[in-house]
Amino acid sequence: MLDPRLLALATALPSHRYTQDEVRDAAGQLFDRDSADLEHLLPVFNNAGIAARHSCMPLEWYMERHGWTERSRLFREHAVELLVQATLSCLDRAGLGIGDIEAVVAVSTTGVATPSLDALVIERLGLPRAVRRLPIFGLGCAGGVIGLSRAVDLARAYPGSRVLYLVVELCALTFRHGDNTKSNVVAAALFGDGAAAALISTEGEGPSFGAAGEHTFPNSLEVMGWRVKEDGLGVLFSRDIPSLVRSEFKPLLESFLEGLGLGRGDLAGTICHPGGAKVLDALEESFELAPGAMTVAREVLRDCGNMSAATVLFVLERTLARPSSGRYLMSALGPGFSAGFQMIAA
């Protein structure tokens, strides 16, 4: 059986762009903390490895409190708009039309929509009514890779069909004015909004997808996720994430590669989700790379921030735009606490 291929990939960003300096300077209005305490936390903005991020809302919106009803309306509106932009760009790059799509996989964790995002995009663009649908919620940052693997599985299960893989995360939209926890300060220093669309099929030309794998760590439910609050989603971050990567990721990586008869030396490169500067430091150690070697991942983090599941697709897009070939390993970590792997050969 032929391996599914990536026929085309496109990303989309909302129009509002903020430099890290702008967000840091607004921290006094964003957080109701003692000035000395806030000054103690502000270095997180300088050390995040981020120069700018994009948001679906203007900076002034974050200076006030907002409830579930408004957040949900804005999530549906802006998530669908970004997905439509990414989808149309992706189809144009593939030389295909709306009627050529036979399945849709949609990934997001930063908002709730029922009907789900895939149904909203189908209605907005007029996709074929017999299209297969698979909405995926709750995988967080890991969803970019694990969701991609599900789309690849669907393409493999239905040879010749064209699967549209959609990812959108409006991380910045989840910011809650009045949440003065350290986790929310860190989130304000990291998160941005973005979306991606990919077309996958066993028929056509493009990089091929190989084996996939995932692992959910025991006793790790409190490492990362959301806590549902009256006015939105409260971010849950453990300060131990980089340490967990250092202690647990490397043996997991080696086990996955050994199962394929491969070693790290057989990889042409990595396509990792850049959760943050410290996480990238830990990942480089796990892959036995020199500090700063994950240049593309660091560039995406610098230019766009952490867009949760969508981020790794931005890394993939930039990696494929460079003149290189060989086996690449995609990876991402997210709530569960889980790791996802996906092989791709360019």
Give the residue numbers marked as catalytic. 141
First to last CA, the chain: 19
User: Which amino acid appears at position 116 of this protein?
Assistant: S
Q: By the 8 A CB rule, do 134 and 149 touch?
A: no
Position of tokens 């991402």? 332
Q: By the 8 A CB rule, do 247 and 281 touch?
A: no
Residue 195 parent element (H or E)? strand 193-201
Calpha distance 277→243 (Å, rounded): 13
Position of tokens 């679906």? 56
- Residue 222 is given by DSSP the state T
Calpha distance 197→265 (Å, rounded): 30
Calpha distance 21→279 (Å, rounded): 22
- Residue 4 is given by DSSP the state P
Of 334, 299, 292, the C-alpha closest to 315 is 299
The CA-based angle 172-194-93, given to 5 degrees, is: 170
